[in-house]
């Protein structure tokens, strides 16, 4: 049950089925990557539901009409490296014209604080819908840090898309950034003492890229 107005849990049965396959420790990296890409496409439908449309005059083979079309040049997808790229791939398939930014962060294993190693984002963030993607929201230290930086770069309208969230992470992120809407496939039970999401799926980056 989700009582937080800032969080949308996308519970489409196809998505939930694929998520269960991803959680299974016996799922290979190749399958894990493919499933994450498929899920990201399903998540994106929900995330972009309110995207503004404008009217454009076109000619069908039979008549001239005014028809809805996306406003264009208004979206920026920001991937929190490296696991964010697993979600980004599917989103870019649906919206190939989106601008893309990357924020390189990894969690220090002892402090669970993010360590930054890269930051490159599109210009004019203030005029774009900024969609930040990272499959895991655990302590939310990484997401909070990334969104702090994006706001300093001018971003005003920001959505955060993840695969799994810990309740602790949702609390931290919505306190730090109450203006952010979070989209996820699941709110899991809790964080363990090492900051991993329980039951979770393990280390997303390692599972995507086979680095464990």
Instruction: Determine which helix (DSSP H) or strand (DSSP E) holds 34, and give its type and residue range.
Output: helix 29-47
Q: Does 205 bind ligand PRP (CB under 6 A)?
A: yes
Residues in 161-180 at the binding interface with ligand PRP, rule: CB under 6 A: 169
Q: Does 137 bind ligand PRP (CB under 6 A)?
A: yes
- Minimum distance, C-beta of residue 141 to ligand PRP, in the bound complex (Å): 4
128 Cβ contact list (under 8 Å, min separation 6): 74, 75, 76, 99, 122, 155, 157
Question: Per DSSP, what are the bridge partners of residue 9?
Answer: 184
Q: Which of 103, 136, 147, 161 is in the footprint of ligand URA by CB under 6 A? A: 136
Q: Which of 37, 107, 177, 207 is in the footprint of ligand PRP by CB under 6 A? A: 107
103 Cβ contact list (under 8 Å, min separation 6): 78, 79, 80, 81, 84, 116, 118, 119, 121, 146, 149, 150
Alpha-carbon span 189 to 168, nearest angstrom: 9
Q: Does 36 bind ligand URA (CB under 6 A)?
A: no
140 binds, among ligand PRP, ligand URA, none (CB under 5 to 8 A by kind): ligand PRP
Task: Please list the active-site residues.
Answer: 107, 111, 203, 206
Residues in 174-203 at the binding interface with ligand URA, rule: CB under 6 A: 196-197, 200, 203
- Looking at beta carbons, which pairs linking 151-155 to residues 24 or more positions away fall under 8 Å? 151/177, 153/121, 153/125, 154/124, 154/125, 154/126, 155/76, 155/125, 155/126, 155/128, 155/130
Alpha-carbon span 43 to 22, nearest angstrom: 15
Q: Does 112 bind ligand PRP (CB under 6 A)?
A: yes
Alpha-carbon span 204 to 4, nearest angstrom: 25
200 binds, among ligand PRP, ligand URA, none (CB under 5 to 8 A by kind): ligand URA
Candidates 9-17, 49-57, 70-78, 105-113: pick the segment binding ligand PRP (CB under 6 A): 105-113
Q: Which of 22, 146, 204, 208 is in the footprint of ligand URA by CB under 6 A? A: 204
Q: Which residues bind ligand URA (CB under 6 A)?
A: 136, 138, 196-197, 200, 203-205
Q: Which residues bind ligand PRP (CB under 6 A)?
A: 80-83, 105-107, 112, 114, 134-143, 169, 195, 203-205
């Amino acid at each position: 049950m989700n009582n937080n107005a800032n969080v949308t849990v996308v519970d489409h049965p196809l998505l939930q089925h694929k998520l269960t396959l991803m959680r299974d420790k016996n799922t290979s990296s190749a399958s894990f990557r493919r499933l994450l890409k498929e899920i990201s496409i399903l998540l994106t439908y929900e995330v972009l539901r309110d995207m503004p449309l404008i009217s454009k005059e076109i000619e069908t083979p039979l008549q001239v009409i005014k028809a809805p079309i996306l406003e264009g040049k208004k979206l920026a997808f920001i991937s929190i490296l490296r696991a964010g790229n697993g979600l980004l791939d599917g989103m870019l398939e649906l919206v190939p014209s989106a601008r893309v930014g990357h924020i390189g962060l990894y969690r220090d294993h002892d402090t669970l604080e993010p360590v930054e190693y890269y930051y490159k984002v599109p210009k004019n963030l203030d005029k774009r819908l900024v969609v930040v993607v990272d499959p895991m929201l655990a302590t939310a230290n990484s997401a909070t840090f990334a969104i702090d930086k994006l706001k300093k770069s001018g971003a005003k309208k920001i959505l955060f898309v993840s695969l799994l969230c810990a309740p602790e992470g949702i609390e931290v992120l919505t306190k730090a950034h109450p203006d952010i809407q979070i989209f996820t496939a699941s709110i899991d039970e809790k964080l363990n003492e090492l900051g991993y999401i329980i039951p979770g799926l393990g280390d997303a980056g390692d599972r995507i890229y086979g680095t464990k």
